[in-house]
Amino acid sequence: MPETYGSSYGSDFAPVAALLADRARAAMLTVLLDGRPLAAGELARAAGVTAQTASSHLSRLLDAGMVTVVAQGRHRYYRLAGPEVAQAVEALSRISGPVPVKGLRQSREARRLHSARTCYDHLAGVAGVTLFASLLDGGLIEPDGEDSYAVTAKGEERFAGFGLDLPALRAAKRRFAWHCLDWTQRRPHLNGALGAAVTDRLIELGWFERTGTRRALAVTATGRDGLAAAFGCLLPEEG
C-alpha cells in the first residue's frame, strides 16, 4: 500500500496551485469573489476567452471543487464553492503584484474597490477594516482565540438592535466570527457568519449600495450616519 503523506506533512496544494496559475481561471475566480452567481458567458467575457474555452476552464474548476453550479430553470450559474476558496484567492492577491491600471476607468474602479467592496460575502476595503476596528475598540466583539472573536454583552444588544439573529448565526454551518487580512489594506476585516450577516444587513438597509464596478460598494449618506450611530464607525471621506 503506498504511503500517504497528507496526514503527516500537510495538504497537497500543488494541483490547486496549478489551476490558479492560469490567468483565465484566475480572472473567473476573482470575478466570483463578488459572491453572486454568474453565467458562463459572463465569466468568459470577464476572462477574455471564448465560450468553449470558458466551459473547459469551468469544468476543471468544478472537478477541483472550487466552484459550484446553481441551476435556475434551463440556466446554469457558477459561484465559488465556499468562503475557503475566497480566502485562498484573497490571500494570493496579497502576495501578488498589482494589475497595472490603464486609463481613467480602471483608475476609478480601483479606487472603488479600495474604498469598499465585498470579499465573497463580507465587507472589505477601507470600510471593512474601519468597521472591524470600531467593533473591537468599541467593545462589541473581543478575541476568542488566535483569530476568532466572541460578541460581548454590549455587542449582543447592539447587534440585536441592528436586526441580527445571533443564535441563528452561531448555529450556522460555518465559523461564527473571525478575521482575514484585507487584500488592499493589509489590516483585518470581519469574516465568518457574523461578517456576512452584517454585510447583508448593511446592503438591506441601504447603507451601502452596489456600483457598476463588480464587487465594489458605495456608502450612502444614511450609511455614514447609521454606522456612526450603531457602531461608532467613522468612515473617512472619499477623495
Q: pLDDT (tens digit, 9 = 90+) per residue, 18-62?
A: 888 899 998 899 888 877 888 999 999 989 999 999 999 999 999
Average pLDDT estimate for 125-154: 94
Extended beta strands in the chain, E state: 38-39, 67-72, 75-80, 117-119, 122-124, 141-143, 149-151, 178-181, 188-191, 208-210, 217-219
Residue type, 186: R
pLDDT at 6 over 60: no
- One-letter identity of residue 33: L
Helices H / strands E in the chain, number of each: 12, 11
Q: What is the pLDDT of residues 70-119, one digit of tens each?
A: 888 888 999 888 888 888 887 787 777 666 656 656 566 667 788 999 88
Enter the C-alpha cell of residue 41.
Answer: 458567458
Q: How many CB atoms lie within 10 A of CB 58?
A: 21
Predicted local distance difference test score (pLDDT) of residue 190? 95
Question: Looking at the predicted structure, is the pLDDT value of residue 218 above 90?
Answer: yes
In this predicted structure, the answer to whether residue 3 has a pLDDT above a threshold of 70 is: no
DSSP code of 101? P
Q: Which three cell numbers stand for residue 162?
A: 441592528
Contact by Cβ (8 Å): 112, 211: yes
Domains of the chain in sequence order: 12-81 (1.10.10.10), 104-231 (no CATH)
Residue 234 reports pLDDT greater than 60: yes
pTM metric for this prediction? 0.72
